[in-house]
Chain A
Amino acid sequence: MTAFPQSLFDGLVYGAIVLTAGGGITLLALFVRDLKGGSLW
């Protein structure tokens, strides 16, 4: 059996958490931008 290396497993998990956090920040930043510009909807 060929197992996924641990470095890949670690990278996936850490990368996913950082990207998820970044996603939340991006959404909030866009919300503020749209709100200020009067273009939410």
Chain B
Amino acid sequence: MLAAAIISPVTGGILLAVFSVLWVLLGRYWGQKAKSLDGFMVAGRNVGLAFGAATAVATWVTSNTTLLAPQFALQLGIWGMLAYSTASIGLFLFAPMAKRIRTLMPHGYTSGEFIRLRYGKAAYVAFLAISLFYAFTWLVSMAMAGGTLLEALAGIPYLIGMTVVLTVCVLYTLFGGLFAVIGTDFIQSCIILVGIVIVAIACLTQVNLGDVYTHTLEERPMLLDVLFPAAVMAVFNNLLFGLGEIFHSNVWWSRAFAMREGVGGKAYALGGLLWLPIPIAAGFIALAAPVMGINVPRADQVGPLVAGNLLGTTGAILVFVVIFSSIASSIDSLLAATSDLVTKDIYAQFINKGATNEQLRKTTGVVIVGLGVLCWLVCAPRVGTLATVLFFAGSLVGSTIWPIAAGLYWKRTNPLAATLGLILGSAVGLVGYFTIAWYVAALIGTTVSMVVVIGGSLIAPREFDWKRLNPSAASESA
């Protein structure tokens, strides 16, 4: 816990209560649209461009950008900020994929479904293990971020803050499904963008950018080094991490299914463009911390601390709302997408194969609550910093890039090669994580997976009929 909070626990509690009530009420309101399975899981498959782009931005603005980007800037300098910006490339590259996913699987629900239909059961099981592990790791890191924020800004004990944030997100996701998630994402993305701009401008009015540069050059020149080795590795690792995360995660696939035909590609491209500058705008203030003589006890709290010192109580309130919004927008997305994955890919495939839509709808609710409880149990002990928790999964998501991309575009991708790519990429990447450093995990996982998937498919190509990805149409034509 910090030596001194920036706003009082009472102010923090009031803010928390106001936004909690707002999100839950909105969840209930939009929940009226989410009665059917399609409504709850994929928001009726008719989401337009404004909501589509906003949900991409809000979901991808996580603690990565509001807490971790300043941390990266503080530890890795300019390259650290750029490293985070490269995560937007995942959104750009997913744009054409979203269009293709919507075309190939017009009635689809999850990324797991794609892997099962494209590669068969072995790849499906490996993919589910990776995807669920990653989604849960991300969920845990977001909930931890929520607790950290409340503690840093308002002196609210970590455990209480984390519990409230998690509970609120579980409630409104439970009430409104993807409708509530996407609707609140729009509001949250506007809050995030406005808040970041205000804090950044305030920083520029009180600290000279030239002084920041000079001070950094004198005191910590490595942060401005063009050839800062660890930072350069972080750029590539983060790029691949972002690609792997977006390519495989049901968070992004569920939105591709949810967007109206013709919207997905544009929404993801626009989302990438809107997201691109955010890590720099949010991250550079960390470099101003030493110039202002701010003591930073924990690297992942540098952003809130600097903003609070710059703008006083107003700044602290603003940052509080921005970070709460960014964390809530990610937690709700993860709860919704992961519950879809568990319901459609585990419950409906392994537990109750003949489940009706009504049963699936009910199961989704149970899974959302279950995920929330499990997440709370893992978050409570507060182990590791945000980066170490999140990047542990880098090798796993890196290994999914090639099986997904090749599976969507290359007819001859070999299912066994895809399965081995997932398994070997993850395993070797994890070895790299433990024996070298966290910032090489995704790089190694992606490279190994790429060699296995491409090499295996060139040696033993397997033809695939794209129509198999749309079973209902295939059975009709048969």
Binding site for B on A (CB under 8 A): 1-4, 6, 8-10, 12-13, 15-21, 23-24, 26-28, 30-31, 33-35, 39-41
Residues of A within 8 A of B276 (CB): 19
Q: Does B397 contact A (CB under 8 A)?
A: no
Within 8 A of A (CB), among B322-356: none
Pairs across A and B, CB under 8 Å, 18 listed: A1-B225, A1-B227, A12-B284, A13-B200, A13-B204, A16-B278, A17-B197, A17-B204, A17-B277, A20-B281, A27-B50, A27-B186, A30-B53, A31-B51, A34-B49, A39-B260, A41-B51, A41-B260
For the A-B complex with A1-B221, A1-B225 known, give 12 more contacts whose Cβ atoms are closer than 8 Å: A2-B225, A13-B209, A13-B281, A17-B281, A20-B193, A20-B200, A20-B274, A27-B186, A27-B274, A30-B49, A33-B50, A41-B182
When the two chains form their complex, are residues A12 and B44 in contact, meaning their CB atoms are under 8 A apart?
no
Rounded to whole Å, the gap between the CB of A19 and the closest CB of chain B is 4
Of the candidates A3, A10, A39, the one whose C-beta lies within 8 Å of that of B225 is: A3
Nearest CB of B to A38, in Å = 9
Contacts of B179 in A (CB 8 A): 41
* Alpha-carbon distance between A26 and B56 when the two chains are bound, in angstroms: 14
A6-B213, A23-B57, A26-B270 known; A17 and B201 CB under 8 Å? yes
B16 at the interface (CB under 8 A from A): no
Say yes or no: A3 contacts B50, CB within 8 Å: no
Shortest beta-carbon contacts, A-B, top 6: A23-B274, A24-B193, A16-B280, A16-B277, A30-B50, A19-B277
Say how far A30's CB is from chain B's closest CB, in angstroms: 4
The answer to whether A23 touches B273, judged by C-beta atoms less than 8 angstroms apart, is yes
CB atoms of B217 and A3 under 8 A apart: yes
- Cβ-defined contact, A39 with B48, below 8 A: yes
Query: For A34, what are the chain B residues with a Cβ–Cβ distance below 8 Å?
Result: 48-51
Contact B193 A12 (CB under 8 A): no
- Secondary structure class of chain A's binding surface, majority of residues: helix
Judging by beta carbons under 8 Å apart, are B280 and A13 in contact?
yes
Which A residues are CB-close (under 8 A) to B53?
Answer: 27, 30
Q: In the docked arrangement, what's the CA distance between A10 and B278, Å? A: 15
Please give, as numbers and ranges, the residues of chain B lying within 8 Å of A1 by CB-CB distance: 221-222, 225, 227
The answer to whether B209 and A20 have CB atoms under 8 Å apart is: no
A9 touches B197 (CB 8 A): no
Measured CA separation A41–B198 after assembly (Å): 30
Instruction: Give the docked Cα–Cα distance between A16 and B197 (Å).
Output: 9
Q: Which residues from chain A contact B81 at a C-beta distance below 8 Å?
A: 12
With A23-B277, A41-B44, A41-B48 as given contacts, are A31 and B186 in contact (CB-CB < 8 Å)? Answer: yes
B238 interface residue per 8 A CB criterion: no
* Docked-complex contact A40 and B51, CB < 8 angstroms: yes
The residues of B with any CB-CB pair to A shorter than 8 Å are 43-44, 46-51, 53-54, 57, 78, 81-82, 179, 182, 186, 189-190, 193-194, 196-197, 200-201, 204, 209-210, 213, 217, 221-222, 224-227, 260, 270, 273-274, 276-278, 280-281, 284
Across the interface, which residues of A come within 8 angstroms of B200, CB to CB?
13, 16-17, 20
B-side contacts of A2, CB under 8 Å: 225-227
Cross-chain contact of A4 among B47, B186, B224 (Cβ < 8 A): B224
- Return the chain A residue nearest B258 by Cβ: A41
Select B274's contact among A4, A15, A26, beta carbons within 8 Å.
A26
Indicate if the CB atoms of A27 and B226 lie closer than 8 Å.
Answer: no
B213: chain A residues within 8 A (beta carbon): 6, 9-10
Judging by beta carbons under 8 Å apart, are B50 and A31 in contact? yes
Contact residues in A for B280 (Cβ distance below 8 Å): 12-13, 15-16
Given A1-B221, A27-B190, A28-B190, A6-B210 contact (CB < 8 Å): yes
Closest to B209 in A: A10
Give bound CA distance, A9 to B280, whole Å.
10
Contact A23 B182 (CB under 8 A): no
Q: Cβ of A23 and Cβ of B78 under 8 Å apart?
A: no
Task: Find the A residue at minimum CB distance from B281.
Answer: A16
CB of B145 to closest CB in A, whole Å: 20
For the complex, give the distance between the alpha carbons of A15 and B273 in Å: 13
CB distance from A10 to the nearest CB of B (A): 6
Name the distance in Å between A17's Cβ and chain B's nearest Cβ.
5
